[in-house]
Amino acid sequence: MGISGKVVVITGASSGIGRATAKLLAERGAFVVLGARRGDVLAEVVGEIAAAGGRAAHEVTDVRKRGDLDALVALAIERGGKLDVMINNAGIGPISRFDALRVEDWDAMIDVNLRGTLYGIAAALPVFQRQKSGHFINIVSTAGLKILPTMGVYAATKNAVRTVSEALRQEAGPHLRVTEISPGMIATDFASSMTDPAVKEAMQKRIAHVAISPLSIARGIAYAIEQPDDVDVGSIVIRPTAQD
């Protein structure tokens, strides 16, 4: 029970929800192992955690590469002696209308949002099975709960992860926990991956108008982790009160 002493891997940890979660969990006593593509930014986050008295390590990680996820989990075990929580957070959202035919963006979302989560599961599941304990936290989205124009492929990838999470929960048995968390509009650099200028501008305005802090999602993640081992928080939706 609790967070202190747990070893937690977080993908997409260099910014936004991943960064906020890393800092909050480290503050509460977890050893956090951070993965993302930007090594310099990861090092900065680790430095901030260490300066605040926390423990962290990092590994440059591209979730599109299965070997990178294996290496990230291996680092957690090497440095922490175990793995308690795997947070599959890395995601991108270059959204657009279907008739824009941005097929490369569709492929990228499938590779990062869905395949990256599957690779995270593949890396951590054998460890959890050996330990007879472990917790997957998969970050999905309210975009999959209310389908809107331009969000089709993005929502599809997130709902695919939702399906994966529920099937994994049912297969996991009595010793593993699986939580899906659906953030709404969060103040992150989500729009940075968008390649459609009009959609990007509209999203940036929307985020500026209604978004809440990524710390709100970090607190939800912490809540799921800190429950007793026999309590599985299956699904959490966290969104701004101003979001329709």
Separation of alpha carbons 135 and 84, rounded Å: 6
Q: Name beta bridge partners: 36.
A: 60
Catalytic, out of 31, 106, 136, 154: 154
Lookup: tokens for 98:
């279907």
Separation of alpha carbons 195 and 198, rounded Å: 9
Contact (Cβ atoms closer than 8 angstroms) between residue 206 and residue 185? yes
154 is catalytic: yes
Measuring CA to CA, which residue among 59, 53, 58, 73 is closest to residue 4? 53
Measuring CA to CA, which residue among 193, 206, 2, 186 is closest to residue 85? 2
Cα separations in angstroms, 240 against 2, 71, 96, 177: 27, 36, 23, 27
Tell the residue number behind the tokens 């906020």, with chain if given.
20
Measuring CA to CA, which residue among 30, 61, 56 is closest to residue 45? 56
Separation of alpha carbons 84 and 176, rounded Å: 10
Tell the residue number behind the tokens 């699904």, with chain if given.
235
Separation of alpha carbons 212 and 237, rounded Å: 13
Largest CA distance in the chain: 51
Catalytic residue numbers read 154
